[in-house]
Chain A
Amino acid sequence: MSNLNEQMADRYKNNFLKEIEEQAEMGEWVKMCMQCGLCSGSCPTHFHSGWDHPPQEIFMLIRAGKREEVLNSQGMYMCTSCYNCYVRCPRKVPVTHVMHGIAEYAYRIGRAPKAQPTLHLSKTFWTNATKYGRVNEVQLTQSLYFKDGIGSGIKKAMEMQKEALGLVMAGRLNPMEALGMGHKCKDVSGIHKMLAKAEELEAKNKAAKADTAGKE
């Protein structure tokens, strides 16, 4: 059996819009877009050089069947969830959620770009938050600072020293978290069970989707 990416491409032949509608969460909204450009114009991250395609362009590329362009795009990952587009879209397209849905789908079929910083952040955040049921800010920051090696990690930490100290003084950051102490949720094992169940349901759901993929 070929990989999931090729499987899907094969199943949907050239109908990438249908693929997104069926496979990506909120994908069914893509066809509601009227290409007005309000979302792209409202997006603060568009100033970032890494952003090749704004949401409106992603939606048009999907409709035009440009599978490779979309799956290779950084656009979906650059979304910071500011929700500017979401609240303004004249067609009430939940732009933020559609972007996440497409990113998640690309990731699922193994097409997420390598070394994508926001993808890295999401994964790190998820691992961190699910460990104790609450985010351990110190460990989260550490793992992000040191992702490119010790040297650059120390440099970044030094730069942010003043801010960190301010947060500690204000009681917003507990240095003990570095040692795995600090705030946790009451029933950690309960949370873990819940997450395991959710994962199981989601896997089932997605497997079913993959099975019926492309069939009327």
Chain B
Amino acid sequence: MTSVVATNQTILVVGGGISGMTAALEAAETGKQVVLVERNPYLGGRTVQLYRYFPKMCHPTCGLEINLRRLKANPRIQVLTMAEVTGITGGKGNYSVSLKLKPRFVNENCTACGDCAQAVQTEIDDAYNYNLTKVKAAFLPSIFAYPQRYVIDPSIVGGAEGEAAKAACKYNAVDLTMKEETVTLNAGAIVWATGWKPYDAEKIVYYGYDRFPNVVTNVEFERMADPRGPTGGKILRPSDGKEAKNVAFIQCAGSRDENHLRHCSRFCCMGSLKQTHYVQEAFGDEGKSTIYYIDIRAIDRFEDFYQKVKANPNVSFVKSKVARITQDKDGNPVCNGVNTEGYLRYATAHDLVVLAVGMEPEVKGVSIPAEVMSDSSGFVMADPANAGIFGAGCATNALDVNRAVQSATAAALRAIQVVNKVARAEG
């Protein structure tokens, strides 16, 4: 059984992305007890699936490592992975929270040696790589995964492969008897940091994401550029494996659109500007990027970044929302539309089109198991009627990492105030 120590002076953080980790650390470093609940088998959220970070173009693992070091050094944080909140009752200062913990089938003896994976043949979709590839049914989600522990997929448990994985492990870490558990715990305040998900590109019918193999999304492109990704960091077209040297980026794919997402997703202009660096890096002067945009929103201090990309002769900008993508006989995606500077019609073929899809709150459609207010896009809002639950990061708005972290710190501070009040009342 998983045992969790929690009282009504504990802060519960839901979601272990950069925002949730930040909120948990900030609260714990002021001396509060924190329980951090993450649905994935690892911490870090969607940032760890990026190849590089704007504005400094560093690798996300670097920031993650610092946070993990803080986390490991702090005994006040209890981390629960593969865990989801299923119900919240009570109120500010006195919540009762039920959690569902999925079995990992691997215990803390695991040294991440990988012998279990060697013994297994079955492959499953690789969620870490947005299903662009497959992984063994005994897997480490990424080499930086925390906890550094393998996961065994339930599909092989109860069969010969599960037994083979168990037999292969020299450390007795594979435990096929693990069961799904339900845990109830107390909390004085809750930080809701469940983040975002990419907008479903198939819904933008005229871009043909479901019909044309060489139309991909920006999150997939991050994985394609990553040396640890499915293509080993080579930017190759999915249809024929040809190097994609002429890449188009379509901005606002789903965002700022009453038929899709109402809001500006804020990060995606910067995201595409950043991704032009990947093309340049991979192919030098042979790598050409074209950004189709309504207006470029490189907010405040990101303007510099934009100006530098703009000065690159290998990057061109077309002020136009692409109206339609078609495919020519060579399998090249063709962008069709009208360039609003001069109102000229174009039909331009590229090797690859990257849709800069926007952010949708992860919780949209999945009801938070408590009364929490949300705006017209489904993002969590501060609710005076439920003053002990605070949103943080992309659960509250479409944000880049910097802003997500700021928002997480603010949420931690509010949560701390609530449990301080509880502590004073209890003397």
Point out residues on A near B: beta carbons under 8 Å: 34-38, 40-42, 46-47, 53-54, 56-57, 87-92
Judge whether B256 is part of the interface by a CB distance below 8 angstroms: yes
**Selected A-B contacts with CB under 8 Å, 19 pairs:** A35-B294, A36-B252, A36-B320, A37-B339, A38-B323, A38-B337, A40-B338, A40-B340, A41-B322, A41-B324, A41-B345, A46-B338, A46-B345, A56-B338, A56-B340, A88-B206, A88-B323, A90-B256, A90-B321
Judge whether B258 is part of the interface by a CB distance below 8 angstroms: yes
Is B343 a contact of A34 with CB atoms below 8 Å? Answer: no
A residues near B338, Cβ cutoff 8 Å: 37, 40-41, 46, 54, 56
Is B258 a contact of A37 with CB atoms below 8 Å? Answer: no
Given contacts A54-B338, A92-B259, contact A40 B343 (CB under 8 A): yes
B residues near A90, Cβ cutoff 8 Å: 252, 256-260, 321
Taken residue by residue from 250 to 262, chain B's Cβ proximity to chain A (1 for < 8 Å, 0 otherwise) reads as 0010001111100
A residues near B323, Cβ cutoff 8 Å: 37-38, 40-42, 88
B residues near A89, Cβ cutoff 8 Å: 258
Given contacts A36-B321, A90-B258, contact A53 B337 (CB under 8 A): no
Cα A56 to Cα B258 in complex, Å, equals 17
How far is the CB of A58 from the nearest CB of chain B, in Å?
10
Cα A198 to Cα B343 in complex, Å, equals 39
Set B256, B257, B259, B321: member contacting A37, Cβ < 8 A: B321
Which chain B residue shows the least CB distance to A42?
A: B323
Most buried by B among A41, A54, A89, A91: A41
Which chain A residue shows the least CB distance to B257?
A: A90
How far is the CB of B272 from the nearest CB of chain A, in Å?
16
Number of A-B contacts (CB under 8 A): 63
Is A41 a contact of B258 with CB atoms below 8 Å? Answer: no
Is A91 a contact of B258 with CB atoms below 8 Å? Answer: yes
Judge whether B47 is part of the interface by a CB distance below 8 angstroms: no
Judge whether B86 is part of the interface by a CB distance below 8 angstroms: no
A residues near B340, Cβ cutoff 8 Å: 35-37, 40, 56
Is B294 a contact of A34 with CB atoms below 8 Å? Answer: yes
Judge whether B336 is part of the interface by a CB distance below 8 angstroms: yes
How far is the CB of A87 from the nearest CB of chain B, in Å?
8
Cα A131 to Cα B258 in complex, Å, equals 41
How far is the CB of B333 from the nearest CB of chain A, in Å?
15
Cα A47 to Cα B337 in complex, Å, equals 12
Set A41, A47, A53: member contacting B320, Cβ < 8 A: A41
A residues near B259, Cβ cutoff 8 Å: 87-88, 90, 92
Cα A44 to Cα B381 in complex, Å, equals 43
A residues near B319, Cβ cutoff 8 Å: 37
A residues near B257, Cβ cutoff 8 Å: 90
B residues near A40, Cβ cutoff 8 Å: 323, 337-338, 340, 343
Given contacts A56-B338, A90-B259, contact A37 B320 (CB under 8 A): yes
Which chain A residue shows the least CB distance to B251?
A: A36
How far is the CB of B308 from the nearest CB of chain A, in Å?
26
A residues near B258, Cβ cutoff 8 Å: 89-92
B residues near A56, Cβ cutoff 8 Å: 338, 340, 343
How far is the CB of A37 from the nearest CB of chain B, in Å?
4
Cα A38 to Cα B320 in complex, Å, equals 7
Given contacts A41-B337, A88-B206, A92-B259, contact A57 B343 (CB under 8 A): yes
Is B343 a contact of A36 with CB atoms below 8 Å? Answer: no
A35-B294, A36-B252, A36-B340 are known; give 14 further A-B pairs, CB within 8 A: A34-B256, A34-B294, A35-B340, A36-B294, A36-B320, A37-B319, A37-B320, A38-B337, A41-B322, A47-B345, A87-B259, A90-B256, A91-B258, A92-B258
Cα A46 to Cα B336 in complex, Å, equals 12
Cα A91 to Cα B319 in complex, Å, equals 17
B residues near A41, Cβ cutoff 8 Å: 320-324, 336-338, 345
Cα A37 to Cα B338 in complex, Å, equals 6
How far is the CB of B223 from the nearest CB of chain A, in Å?
28
A residues near B321, Cβ cutoff 8 Å: 36-38, 41, 90
A residues near B343, Cβ cutoff 8 Å: 40, 53-54, 56-57
Is A42 a contact of B339 with CB atoms below 8 Å? Answer: no
Given contacts A42-B323, A90-B256, A91-B258, contact A37 B337 (CB under 8 A): yes
How far is the CB of B219 from the nearest CB of chain A, in Å?
21
Cα A203 to Cα B217 in complex, Å, equals 53
A residues near B260, Cβ cutoff 8 Å: 90
Q: Which of B106-141 contact A (CB under 8 A)?
A: none
B residues near A54, Cβ cutoff 8 Å: 338, 343
A residues near B256, Cβ cutoff 8 Å: 34, 90
Which chain B residue shows the least CB distance to A85?
A: B323
B residues near A34, Cβ cutoff 8 Å: 256, 294
How far is the CB of B217 from the nearest CB of chain A, in Å?
18
Cα A56 to Cα B103 in complex, Å, equals 56
Cα A125 to Cα B130 in complex, Å, equals 55
Cα A53 to Cα B256 in complex, Å, equals 25
Taken residue by residue from 321 to 344, chain B's Cβ proximity to chain A (1 for < 8 Å, 0 otherwise) reads as 111100000000000111110010
Cα A62 to Cα B259 in complex, Å, equals 25
A residues near B324, Cβ cutoff 8 Å: 41-42
Cα A46 to Cα B346 in complex, Å, equals 11
Most buried by A among B259, B337, B338: B338
Which chain A residue shows the least CB distance to B320?
A: A37
Q: Which are the 3 A-B pairs with shortest beta-carbon distances? A: A41-B323, A41-B337, A90-B257
Which chain A residue shows the least CB distance to B261?
A: A90
